[in-house]
């Protein structure tokens, strides 16, 4: 059996999060965003383990005890970070002949936009702490963020040209060479490239997990924009046409399920923020969905319930998260079954 990148909906041991702190960009919003992380930890701990990387684990532990999280399901590791976006610097797990292997790719702050020297070491520090037991770790110089790729667990990778082919990550590689790298690292042999689609306020160069998500039974949940006066209207419509043109590895069409378009959200400086319902997290027996105190929240939850009928769908208010230009999937990284000690 060749190497395989599992789908997010496969069995998991847990989810990695990095607790926000006052030394970085979260400082002015810390009192707003910590309750979001606490609620995520609470909900995840009801279904599987939570691995918390924190500069002050004792303080975080006390906060989670107050809200009655399942403490037996939470592991704390003292670990310094620049920021909280573990989707993009946390370990990506593959299976080699059925056995898990952790991959640690280079992280350069989304194309040299932000400081990343601590975040780039987190996976290695977690591995050294022993939380992954005997699971081997392989470190690669290839620059890759977890939010930039989607996998169906069977060799298909969905991604965006804006991110993976940008000059600020692997400028020495062309599209064919990028595909060759994805084939080597993930056992991928079917590539779906989106050339359209973006979110204003997004710092990632159009990570696919903000736009379109591979789901079971050849389904793709994706953002839709029905407001012709919105700046995204043309780009999202073009992205939807691309999705319609995609074929599964067996030649069939994908079932496309559009998500509602939330009303525009802005920070105090008038900058638009990247609110997206596509940034949900799939865990064992549940799906956690970001909400934004928006009239479209309930409709988004109902649509996702229709796709994940055998899982409990839980909304979590992520309005504070988008103040730093990301949402729930961006601050989490699933750890597949068989990895944690």
Instruction: Give the tens place of pLDDT for each residue, 281-304.
Output: 999 999 999 999 999 999 999 999
Residue 266 reports pLDDT greater than 70: yes
The full set of domains in the chain, from first to last, is 12-336 (3.75.10.10)
Per-residue exposure over 5-26, b if at least 16 CB sit within 10 Å of its own CB, e if not = bbbbbbebbbbbbbbbbeebeb
Residue from 113, 174, 181 nearest 142 by CA:
181
123/70 Cα distance (integer angstroms): 24
Residue 224 reports pLDDT greater than 80: yes
Give the Cβ contact number of residue 251 at 10 Å.
Answer: 6
Beta-strand relationship, 92-96 and 99-106: antiparallel
DSSP one-letter code for 199: -
pLDDT score of 24: 87
For range 242-271, the mean pLDDT: 97
Residue 333 reports pLDDT greater than 80: yes
Give the Cβ contact number of residue 263 at 10 Å.
Answer: 13
What is the CA 278 to chain-centroid distance, rounded? Answer: 10
pLDDT score of 297: 98
Mean pLDDT, the chain, rounded, equals 97
57/276 Cα distance (integer angstroms): 30
| pLDDT tens digits, one per residue of 89-141 | 999 999 999 999 999 999 999 999 999 999 999 999 999 999 999 999 999 99
Residue from 320, 319, 286, 321 nearest 304 by CA:
286
pLDDT score of 1: 53
HSE-up of residue 76 (Cα within 13 Å, Cβ side): 17
In what order do the strands lie in the sheet containing 99-106? 92-96, 99-106, 137-143
The structure's pTM equals 0.97
Give me the residue label for tokens 């309750």.
Answer: 35
For range 30-59, the mean pLDDT: 98
pLDDT score of 26: 96
Tokens representing residue 197 in the block: 């689609």
Residue 277 reports pLDDT greater than 80: yes
For range 51-61, the mean pLDDT: 97
Residue from 67, 37, 39, 40 nearest 54 by CA:
37
């Amino acid at each position: 059996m060749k190497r395989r990148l599992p789908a997010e909906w496969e069995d998991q041991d847990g989810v990695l999060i990095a607790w926000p702190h006052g030394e970085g960009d979260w400082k002015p919003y810390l009192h707003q965003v910590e309750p979001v992380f606490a609620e995520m930890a609470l909900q995840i701990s009801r279904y599987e383990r939570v691995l918390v990387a924190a500069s002050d684990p004792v303080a975080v532990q006390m906060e989670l005890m107050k809200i009655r999280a399942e403490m037996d399901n939470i592991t704390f590791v003292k670990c310094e970070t620049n920021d909280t976006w573990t989707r993009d610097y946390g370990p990506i797990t593959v299976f080699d002949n059925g056995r898990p292997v952790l991959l640690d790719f280079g992280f350069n702050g989304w194309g040299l936009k932000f400081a990343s020297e601590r975040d780039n070491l987190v996976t290695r520090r977690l591995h050294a702490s022993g939380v992954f037991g005997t699971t081997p770790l392989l470190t690669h110089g290839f620059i890759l963020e977890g939010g930039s790729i989607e996998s169906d667990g069977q060799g298909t990778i969905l991604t965006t040209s804006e991110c993976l082919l940008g000059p600020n990550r692997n400028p020495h590689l062309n599209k064919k060479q990028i595909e060759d790298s994805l084939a080597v690292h993930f056992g991928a042999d079917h590539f779906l490239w989106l050339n359209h689609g973006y979110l204003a306020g997004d710092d990632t160069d159009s990570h696919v997990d903000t736009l379109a998500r591979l789901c079971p039974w050849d389904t793709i949940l994706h953002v839709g924009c029905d407001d012709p006066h919105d700046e995204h209207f043309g780009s999202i419509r073009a992205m939807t046409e691309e999705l319609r043109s995609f074929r599964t590895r067996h030649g069939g069409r994908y079932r496309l399920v559009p998500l509602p378009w939330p009303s525009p959200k802005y920070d105090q400086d008038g900058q638009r923020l990247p609110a997206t319902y596509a940034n949900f997290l799939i865990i064992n027996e549940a799906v956690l969905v970001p909400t934004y105190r928006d009239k479209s929240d309930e409709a988004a939850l109902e649509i996702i319930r229709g796709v994940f009928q055998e899982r409990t769908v839980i909304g979590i208010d992520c309005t504070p998260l988008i103040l730093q230009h990301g949402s729930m999937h961006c601050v989490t990284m699933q750890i597949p079954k068989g990895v944690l000690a």
